[in-house]
Structure 1
Amino acid sequence: MRALRTALRATLLAAGLGGCREGVLAAAGPIGDAENQILWETFGAMLLVVVPVILMILAFAWWFRASNPRATYRPDWSYSGKVEFSIWIVPLLLILFLATLAWSGSHDLDPYRPLPSDRKPVRVEVVSLDWKWLFLYPDYGVASINELAVPVGTPVDFRLTSGTVMNSFFVPQLGSQIYTMAGMQTRLSLQADQPGAYRGLSAQFSGDGFSDMGFTVRAVDAAGFAGWIAAAKASPGHLDNAAYDRLAATHAAAAPTRFGAVDPGLFDHAVAAATASAHRPMSATNGVMCAPRRTQGTL
């Protein structure tokens, strides 16, 4: 009875999750769709093992019950060619299937691989900071904090780094997560096929402000994206190297902010600044090798 109540509670909780539309199962782009397909194919392969095993357990328990006179008692039985064949061939086929799936998926979903499209990709440079995300649009000369606008149906080529500790850039509905590391660059190609506002987050614990590292991805049509860029250009903020250094030194969460002017090469400055910081002696940082504690207030 206790197990039944537990199972009932779990079923009711799982049913309630049907309203959650922000996770990886609610894919809104080609990468997310491909990853969902791999997930379900892997799940199906596991069911090919789990379901027959459960059915055999039930069948054996029923057939070899004490009240069944037709069940043959064979204490000296030790070998069956059919059984040996089955218990070896099925796992081998599953391993071959999963290996093929992993191999093809690893190449097809390579984050450095550009997405096929007849549209010119939008370039976005990403810098993870304590505890916020900085997005640079080098082709438009604007930037934003914790707000990312992308045109629907157009690939977005990300170039990512960290101005502080290691982090992880992740938009669950669009697909792959990828790490950001100080003094290094990673790349990622994503695309939103449906308009909407998608939640982005950090998937890597990075300090006591880690939970504040959320951002919004606004997928809009071409006119909406042009309007967002125009609104960003009209913003009064100017992000130059000195302003970036002050931003990186402020270890606090930040509200969504836009900058109407950005110095060229700011992303390279962020990489170089993090590289120089990483090569300072321990005495220069008081021995601190992780993200500083949160400061009071927000930007």
Structure 2
Amino acid sequence: MKPRIFKLGLALPAMLLLTAALLTGCGDAMVFDPKGPIAAQQKDLIYISMLLCVVILVPVLALTAYIVVRYRDRKDSDAPYEPTWSHNTKLEIVWWAIPIIIIAILAVVTVRYTHALEPSKPIVSEKEELVIQVTSLDWKWLFQYPEQDIATVNYLYIPEDVPVRFELTSDAPMNSFWIPQLGGQIYTMSGMAMTLYLQADEPGVYYGSGANFSGEHFADMTFFATAVPQDEFDAWVEQVKSTSEPLTVEGYDELRQPGTSHVQQFAGIPEGLFYDIVTRYVVDGQNPHAGHGASAPEAEEASDSADAAEHGHDESHAAH
């Protein structure tokens, strides 16, 4: 019995040491190395949640080891036999009150951060935001810069310390856009235009990917977001315009076909291409869903047309 008791006594320290060892490796995880204000707040939320979980986990593990050792069956035990015991008010208060308090704290913190980190909420900055229109394809990413009239495939260039307004949709199966060091993921869906604000606080090259299974080559849907000073970003825009061919409608139709792609760049984009993609699946005058405040003039026009048609139908129905 003694060797078994000795092993049980070592169980708790071993589990705690293993947990500590695993947590020390979190420093290499990208989500724990934020490079922007959104990712920094999300890291804080993760740490708070982890701390509250540890407050529960450590006592539970300690009590488990203690109960197993203290109340094991022994031949020489003189503990009273109480088969009808079923309630202890103090213990009931402890094991109900502590979880309720922790859950309440976690709920308050989560609600606060959820509102603060609403994806479509603009980032407060003195600098003008940059708009990038993102389209997930099979199996590649198309990034359009409507204000600069350029586009890239499978790589991003952004100015540091400038809010970036990502408008996102899909012309393929649903996917999820994610740059871990800048912020959390957001889904891209056909017929919808979502909005996500991110910002890079310092120059760097940040890994990005599709975080949703989308078929055979989903693992190839990766890209790098390069944050550079504003003057370098402006020089890059001019370089793209002077060394690349424009993206045509025919070129996009070819690009959207299933298959992987190497890095590409285009010196021009068809007018309204992003909104054509969003409204591609409009049927019978029904407007597409525009989510989280995405700006979509064509989508709004489609919505107005649909409302007008519905109003006319109602009047006609009333006349009959």
Letter in 1 for 2:271: P
Calculate percent identity across the aligned residue pairs: 34
| More deviation, 55-64/221-230 | 55-64
Q: Say whether the 8 Å CA contact 1:125–1:136 is kept in structure 2.
A: yes
Deviations 1:105-133 (A, max 9, x none): 22111111111111111100011111110
Moved more, 229-238 or 208-217: 229-238
Out of 245, 258, 271, which is 1:237 matched to? 245
**C-alpha displacement at 1:242, in angstroms?**
2.6
Match of 1:198 among 197, 206, 215: 206
1:92 maps onto 2:90 in alignment: no
Letter in 2 for 1:87: W
Q: State the shift of 1:271 in Å.
A: 1.8
**Structure in which a larger fraction of residues adopt helix:** 2
Once residues 160 and 218 of structure 1 are traced to their aligned partners in structure 2, the CA distance between those partners, rounded to angstroms, is: 19
- The equivalent residue for 2:318 is none
Give the SS at the match of 1:198.
Answer: strand
Query: 1:224 & 1:73 partners in 2: Cα distance?
Result: 79
Aligned residue number for residue 45 of structure 1: 52
- The letter for the 2-side match of 1:181 is M
Q: Could you say what secondary structure the match of 2:31 adopts?
A: coil
Contact 1:182 1:275 in 2 (8 A): no
Q: Deviations over 1:50-89 (max 9, x none)?
A: 111122233344544678x998536254433221211111
Deviates more, 1:175-184 or 1:77-86: 77-86
* TM-score, scaled to structure 2: 0.76
Q: Is the 8 A contact 1:240 1:266 kept in 2?
A: no
Number of residues of Structure 1 aligned to a counterpart in Structure 2: 271
CA contact under 8 A between 2:26 and 2:32: conserved in structure 1? no
Shift in Å, 1:30: 1.1
Q: Does 2:101 correspond to 1:55?
A: no
1:96 and 1:56 map into 2 onto residues whose CA distance is: 23
Q: Which moved more, 1:125-134 or 1:219-228?
A: 219-228
Under a length normalisation based on structure 1, what TM-score does the superposition of the two structures give? 0.81
What secondary structure does 1:185 align onto? strand
Larger CA deviation: 236-245 vs 107-116: 236-245
Call closer, same or farther: CA 1:275–1:247 in 2, change over 3 Å.
farther
Quick one: distance in 1 between partners of 2:73 and 2:275? 76
Check if 1:158 corresponds to 2:166: yes
The structure-2 alpha-carbon separation of the partners of 1:167 and 1:275, relative to structure 1 and needing over 3 Å to count, comes to farther
Q: List 4+ stretches of structure 1 deviating above 4 A.
A: 13-19, 61-67, 69-72
Q: Note if contact 2:246-2:268 (Cα within 8 Å) is conserved in structure 1.
A: yes
Paired position in structure 2 for 1:105? 113
Native 8 Å contact 2:170 2:190 kept in 1? yes
- Give the 3 Å change call, closer, same or farther, for CA 207–65 of structure 1 in structure 2: closer
Q: Distance in 1 between matches of 2:23 and 2:89?
A: 44
Secondary structure class of the residue paired with 2:151: strand
Are the counterparts in 2 of residues 164 and 274 from structure 1 also a CA contact under 8 Å?
no
Aligned-partner SS, 2:52: helix
Q: 1:1-299 to 2 correspondence within 5 Å?
A: 14=22, 17=25, 20=28, 23-64=30-71, 73=80, 75=82, 77-248=85-256, 250-275=257-282
Cα RMSD of the aligned pairs, angstroms, is 3.0
CA distance in structure 1 between the aligned counterparts of 2:240 and 2:78, rounded to whole angstroms: 78
Amino acid at match of 2:62: L
How far has the Cα of 1:221 moved from its partner? 1.1
Greater Rg by CA: 2
Worse overlay, 148-157 or 71-80: 71-80
Alpha carbons 1:146, 1:256 under 8 Å: kept: yes
CA contact (8 A) 2:131 2:165 kept: yes
Higher relative contact order (CA 8 A, sep 6+): 1
Amino acid at match of 2:46: L
1:19–1:96 Cα change, 3 Å: closer
Unaligned runs of 5+ in 1: 280-299
SS of residue matched to 1:238: coil
d(CA) in 2 for partners of 1:238, 1:273? 22
